Structure 1
Amino acid sequence: MTYPGSRPRRLRVVIVGDADSFVKWAAHLVDRLDAVSQHLLLVRTPLTVSDAQKDAALAGTRFAQNPRSVTRVAFAGVADWLARDRPDVVVLAGRAPFVRLLSREVYRLAQRPVVVTGLPGMSVPALRGALEYRRHADLMVVHSRREVAAYSRLARALGVTVPVALATLPFAVDGAKRSGGTDLVFAAQALVPGDREERRRIAEILRLAAVADPSRRVVVKLRSRPGEVEAHQERDGYSELLDHAPENLVFSFAPMSEALATAEGLVTVSSTAAVEALAAGVPVIALDEFGVRPDLLNRVFDGSGLLGGADDVVARRFRHPEPRWAATNYFHDHRESTWWEQTRRLVALRRRGMLSARTVPRPRGGALHAAWHRKSVLGAEDRSIAGRVAYVLGAPVVAAIVALKRRRRRDGTAAVTEDFTLAPSPLAEPVGRRLAGASGRK
C-alpha cells in the first residue's frame, strides 16, 4: 500500500543465472531500468562464471559498483532465498534446460514473482528447443523485429502461448562512438565454426592479417581463460591453433567494451559482438569464408552489407551495415522496446492476484527423465543417487543423439530455410562436462 506523500516501493528485480554470456546479457538488460532494486543470484552449476568472468560480465553496471548485489548460492537454496527476498520479477538467465529447471523452483513459491527469460544475443533462426524450454515463463525477451516475428511464428506452429517481447539488445545501446583505434579484433566463438579445419583456416587468416601489417595488432578476444568454462564448450581453441603466432597477434580476456576501445574493426563469424561493435561505431566484417549456413548461425547477416572473405580481413576492409537491415536487426528505434512495460503490467496483475498460475510439467519419462534433466544442468553439484543412475543410463543415449545430429549437419539434412525451424538445432556439442565432469566454479 502507498500512503499519501510516500514514494511507491521500487520494483525488486532478481536475476537468477549461471553462464557467462547469459549473466552479461541479463545484468546489462536490468541495469538499464530506472527506479528498480536489483540483485544477481549466481547458481552453482558446471557453467557458473568464475570471479574473473563475473567481473568482465558486470563491467560498467551497478552490479560491479555494489558487490553486495551479487550472491552465489547452491541450487538447493534458490527457493528459500527467493522466498525470503520476495522479488517482484525474476529474470532467468541461462541455457534452456537451466531455465526450465529453475522455473520449477520459482513456481514452488507461495507468492511467485513474474518470470521473465530471454536469449542473450542474435537468435536467428528461432530454434524449437530455445522456445520449448522457456514456454512456461510469463514473458520471453528477444532483441529485433525479425526475432519477434520468427519466435511468434514458431510459437504458433508449436501451440505455445508465451508472449514474445522486444528489448533493445543491451550491447546495442548507442554510447560514445569510438574512433582512431588500430586493432583488428576477432570475436572467437566456442561452437562456430565447429569443424577443426575451418577453425584452422580462420587461424591462418588471422596470422596473415598480422603479418600483412606488423605495426598494427590482431587481437583474438576470448571469453574464458584456461580452466574456466563458458556457456558452450570450445574445441580446437585458437590459443592452440595460433601457437607460435607473430608478436603483433595477441589474446585478450578483457571485456568486449575494452577491446573495442582500441579497435579499428571487428571480425566474427556470427558473434553478437558484431552488434556491440556497430553500436560503438566500430565497423565489422562478418566472415563468410565458409558460406552462409545454418550451423554457422550467420544467415542473420544476409543483406547486411557486412559479409566478407579472407582477403577483406587481411586488407582490413571493414563495413558498416545497410540501414534497412539495421532497422530490422537489432537497431530498431528504442521506443519500440516494450518488454519492461509488458513486465510492469504483469506485476500489476500479480499485485491484484490476477496473474495466471504457471507450472512446469514433469517431462515424459517420469522420475528418471526428471533426474536426468536435473543432472544435465547441475552436473557434479547434483549428488543425488537418482541423478547418478540417470547419468549412467542416459549418457550413451544422449551421446548417440549428438552423433546423429553431427551426421545430419554434415549431410545437410538439418538445413534451415526459414527464420525459424521445427527441426532440432543444427548445432551439436559434447554433454559430458555438463553431466558429471565439472564442478561449479567459485
Structure 2
Amino acid sequence: MPPSTPKPIRIAVLADSDTRWKWGALTAARIAPGPSRETETSDDAQAGPRLSGFLLRGRSTPTPRQLAEVGVRADSLREVTAAEFLRAMTEEEYDIVVLALVGGGVQAMLHGLAHGWQGRERRPVVVTGYVGVVYEKLADGLLLRHGADLVLANSRQDAERFRAVYEGVGADASAVTEVALPFLGGAPYEGEHDPYTVVFAAQPSVPDNRRDRTYLLERLIRHARTHPEREVLLKLRSRPGEHTTHIEELPYQKLAGRLDAPANFRLVYGNMGEVLDRTDLLVTVSSTAALESLHRSVPTVVLTDLGIRETLGNHHFVGSGCLASWDQLDEGHRPEPDPEWVDRQGVVADGTYATAFDAARERIAGLLGAPAAPLAPYYTPQTAPGYLPGILARHHLGPDGSPLPGAPAADRAPGPVRQVVRRAARGAYRHGVQRVAPVIRRMGEL
C-alpha cells in the first residue's frame, strides 16, 4: 500500500491590526513543524500548514490591500468578535493558535480559551509574542502574555529579559522561546544603486506631535535638496483612509502637502522588503524596519535629532553604532553597526536565520504529541483582582473567561447596512483622532 499523506498542520491566527497580522501570519509559516508554507512545492503542498486567519473586529481591522501586502496566503480569512473567535476555537479543529494581539487582548483570549477548553485531554498549542522591538511596558506586556505555551522572543536579549521578568514575579518562565523576527529576509546589500537611494521609515505614533514630525519631514526634504543626485523616499505604513496599529493624528501625507519638495523626493508605500531592495541608506527614529535593514547589511541610521529617549524608542539602539543626526547624514556619514549588538538583537545577518525558528518548531512538535496541561495565566482573579476583570470585560468576558450575556457574536456575515454603518463609525473615529482631537488640544493650550 502507498504511504498515507501526512495530515497538514492546522493553524489559526487571530490579529487586531495590519502589523500584527503580518507578524502572526509569517510566524505561523515559520513555526509549524514540517514543510514551511514559504518553501513548499507542488509535491509537498498537501503537507504544508493550513492557515486560518481571524481578524479581531475593531478600529484597526486591516484592509484587503494591507493583507495582500503581507504576502502570506491564508486558506480562509474572516472578521470576528472575541466571542466568535472563542466559539470557533471550541467548534473547529486546530493544532496551533497564534495570538497576534496587544497584551490585553492576549490575556483575554487566554482566559477565554482556558474556559472553553475545560476538560479537554488535548488542545491546540497557543503561541504569542511581540511584533517588533520591545522598548516600553516590558513587565506589563509580558505578564499579559503569560499563560501561552510559547511566548516568542525575537532576540537573545529579549529572551533573557523575558525570563528575568517571569522569574522575578514567581511565574513559570519555560514558555519563553528565542526566535527572530519572522519578516526578515531578502538579498544582502551589495553596493550603491543608481541613483543612490535614501529611505526614511516613518512611524504612525513616533514622534507624536506636529512640531517634531514637521521637523523630521523638513530635514528629509532638506537632505533631498542638499543631494539632488540622490533619490529620497518617505516610506509610509498606510494610505490615506486606512487603519493601522496606531491612528495618526498628523499623517505625513498631510504635512508633506504643505511643503515645497524637490523632484527627487517622493512618498512610497508597499512591502518594506521590496523598498529595501533599492535602499542605500535606511533612516528612522526607532522603527523595526531598522532591524530588517540591518539583517540585509543595508547602512542604517537611527536618528538622534529629537534626543535619545524612551518615549521615542531609539534608546533601544544604544550601543548599536547606528545613532546619528541629520547634520551628519547631510555631510555624508556612513554608520558602522556594532557586530556584538547586532548579534544579540536577533538580526542574524550571519546567515543563520534559517535555523532561528528550530527551537520553536521542536517545542511545538513535542507539545502536539502529548496531552496538554490547562492554560494557566499568571493573572487570575486571585493575583490581580483589581486589574484582570476590567481587561476581560473589554472583550465581553466574565472573571472566569466565560462570555458575558449580550456579548456581540453574529452567526452570519454582516449585511450591507451593517457594513456601511461600521465603515462610517471607523471613519468618524479617524476623523475625531486626526482632526477634532488636535483642535481641542490646541484650544486647551491657549
Measure how far apart 1:367 and its partner are: 10
**Native 8 Å contact 1:40 1:69 kept in 2:** yes
**Aligned-partner SS, 1:121:** coil
Q: How far apart, in 2, do the equivalents of 1:260 and 1:325 lie?
A: 21
- Over 3 Å counting, the alpha-carbon distance change for 1:319 and 1:87 in structure 2 is same
Q: How far apart, in 2, do the equivalents of 1:197 and 1:155 lie?
A: 39
- Over 3 Å counting, the alpha-carbon distance change for 1:366 and 1:248 in structure 2 is closer
1:294-320 CA deviation, whole Å, 9 max, x = no partner? 111122211211111011333453424
Q: Which moved more, 1:139-148 or 1:219-228?
A: 219-228
**Native 8 Å contact 2:50 2:75 kept in 1:** no
Q: How far apart, in 2, do the equivalents of 1:318 and 1:140 lie?
A: 36
Task: Identify the residue that residue 142 of structure 2 maps to in structure 1.
Answer: 131
Paired amino acid for 1:317: H
Tell whether 2:12 aligns with 1:25.
no
**Aligned-partner SS, 1:41:** strand
**Native 8 Å contact 2:18 2:245 kept in 1:** yes
**Aligned-partner SS, 1:296:** coil
Task: Identify the residue that residue 165 of structure 1 maps to in structure 2.
Answer: 177
Q: Give 1 or 2 for the bigger CA radius of gyration.
A: 2
- Over 3 Å counting, the alpha-carbon distance change for 1:84 and 1:356 in structure 2 is closer
**Native 8 Å contact 1:206 1:314 kept in 2:** no
Task: Identify the residue that residue 82 of structure 2 maps to in structure 1.
Answer: 75
Task: Identify the residue that residue 114 of structure 1 maps to in structure 2.
Answer: 125
Q: How far apart, in 1, do the equivalents of 2:224 and 2:396 lie?
A: 44
Q: How far apart, in 1, do the equivalents of 2:362 and 2:146 lie?
A: 20
Tell whether 2:45 aligns with 1:38.
no
Q: How far apart, in 2, do the equivalents of 1:239 and 1:326 lie?
A: 32
| Structure 2: runs of 5+ lacking an equivalent | 36-47, 398-402, 409-424, 432-446
**Native 8 Å contact 1:95 1:231 kept in 2:** no
Q: How far apart, in 2, do the equivalents of 1:366 and 1:28 lie?
A: 32
Q: How far apart, in 2, do the equivalents of 1:41 and 1:293 lie?
A: 36
> Could you tell me which of 13, 16, 25 is aligned with 1:15?
13
Task: Identify the residue that residue 219 of structure 2 maps to in structure 1.
Answer: 205
Measure how far apart 1:238 and its partner are: 1.8
Measure how far apart 1:143 and its partner are: 0.8
| Structure 1: runs of 5+ lacking an equivalent | 377-381, 388-432
Q: How far apart, in 2, do the equivalents of 1:197 and 1:159 lie?
A: 44
> Could you tell me which of 285, 306, 328 is aligned with 1:312?
328
Task: Identify the residue that residue 366 of structure 2 maps to in structure 1.
Answer: 345
Task: Identify the residue that residue 421 of structure 1 maps to in structure 2.
Answer: none
Q: How far apart, in 2, do the equivalents of 1:370 and 1:148 lie?
A: 26
Q: How far apart, in 2, do the equivalents of 1:86 and 1:257 lie?
A: 34
- Over 3 Å counting, the alpha-carbon distance change for 1:114 and 1:218 in structure 2 is same
- Over 3 Å counting, the alpha-carbon distance change for 1:385 and 1:79 in structure 2 is closer
Measure how far apart 1:385 and its partner are: 7.6
**Native 8 Å contact 1:16 1:42 kept in 2:** yes
- Over 3 Å counting, the alpha-carbon distance change for 1:354 and 1:93 in structure 2 is closer
The alignment yields a C-alpha RMSD, in angstroms, of 3.2
> Could you tell me which of 257, 266, 269 is aligned with 2:285?
269
1:121-150 CA deviation, whole Å, 9 max, x = no partner? 111456122112111211110111111111
Q: How far apart, in 1, do the equivalents of 2:339 and 2:388 lie?
A: 51
Q: Percent identical across equivalent pairs?
A: 29
> Could you tell me which of 198, 203, 206 is aligned with 1:192?
206
Alignment of 1:140-179 (within 5 A): 140-162=151-173, 163-173=175-185, 175=187, 177=189, 179=191
Paired amino acid for 2:111: R
Q: Which moved more, 1:114-123 or 1:78-87?
A: 78-87
